[in-house]
Amino acid sequence: MEIQSSTLYVVPTPIGNLADITHRSIHVLSQVELILCEDTRVSQKLLKHYNIDTPTKSYHMHNEHRTVDRLVEQLQQGMSMALISDAGTPAISDPGFLLVRACLQSGVYVTSLPGPTAFVPALVQSGFPTDRFVFEGFLPHKKGRKSRLSQLAEETKTIVLYESPHRILKTLAQCTQVMGPDRQASISRELTKAFEETVRGTLEELEAHFTTHTPKGEFVLVIQGKN
Ligand code: SAM
């Protein structure tokens, strides 16, 4: 497997279990000239674990606008780079889209490797239809939140949302209110980690569950589409 010059490799990294990385991803991370990391300190743990000593540079939501042009220039001049985020697939509720778009607009080759992302295992083990679904990422925190929820209440495809432990109860309460207490849903938390758990039930049951069990970890909420 030869690394190509003038190429951006988008490389998914584990979402909890360090073993969840492909041989090809390890090879690419070892062989590219530079790895762009959402947080270089977070990624060091993974890179060290796999004895990868490729130089790293930070690329995150606070510097992507001002660094993207320079990175594209370097890629055009022949560099090979990998883009990784703290966990999962870059550009999926993580930085990446801006750089990918800028590369493509400038004729830089982009290749996205397959690998870990949190929504696929959560969707599959929800037991809801997987042939058609909508991935919504994080709901807006304030502006536009209510109208997004009202739109989603009418959605007939399976709905997938990302959520933090601090907001999961609020989101469940609002979904219960807008979609009705009897709508079926599934919550997967701590996927691939020691305390991985999936809880299934109505929105109201899930709200009750996480009222008595303090929400801990990272959450994917999957909601059955409207019948
Ligand atoms: N790029 C990542 C991906 O491909 O899934 C998503 C990054 S986003 C900043 C972080 C969110 O992903 C968390 O708030 C949670 O909703 C979800 N997530 C990430 N890791 C998870 C895990 N191990 N278990 C459950 N949800 C997870």
Q: Looking at the predicted structure, is the pLDDT value of residue 13 above 90?
A: yes
Tens of pLDDT, residues 30-76: 999 999 999 999 999 999 999 999 999 999 989 999 999 999 999 99
CB of 188 closer than 6 angstroms to any ligand 1 atom: yes
Radius of gyration, alpha carbons of the chain: 19
Query: How many secondary structure helices (H) and strands (E) does the chain include?
Result: 8, 10
- Distance from residue 163's CA to the centre of ligand 1 (Å): 8
Per-residue pLDDT, 1 = 79
CB of 176 closer than 6 angstroms to any ligand 1 atom: no
CB of 39 closer than 6 angstroms to any ligand 1 atom: no
Tens of pLDDT, residues 88-132: 999 999 999 999 999 999 999 999 999 999 999 999 999 999 999
Residue pair 10/112 in contact by the 8 Å Cβ criterion: yes
- Distance from residue 157's CA to the centre of ligand 1 (Å): 21
Containing 186, the helix (H) or strand (E) segment is: strand 184-189
- Distance from residue 94's CA to the centre of ligand 1 (Å): 9
Residue pair 209/201 in contact by the 8 Å Cβ criterion: yes
Which two three-digit tokens encode residue 109? 């080759």
- For the CA of 89, the closest atom of ligand 1 is 4
Tens of pLDDT, residues 16-29: 999 999 999 999 99
pTM above 0.85, yes or no: yes
Q: Which of 219, 221, 223 to mutate to test the pocket of ligand 1 (most atoms within 8 A of CB)?
A: 219
CB of 191 closer than 6 angstroms to any ligand 1 atom: yes
Tens of pLDDT, residues 178-220: 999 999 999 999 999 999 999 999 999 999 999 999 999 999 9
- Distance from residue 93's CA to the centre of ligand 1 (Å): 8
Identify which of 214, 216, 218, 185 has the alpha carbon closest to the alpha carbon of residue 199. Answer: 185
CB of 88 closer than 6 angstroms to any ligand 1 atom: yes
Per-residue pLDDT, 76 = 98
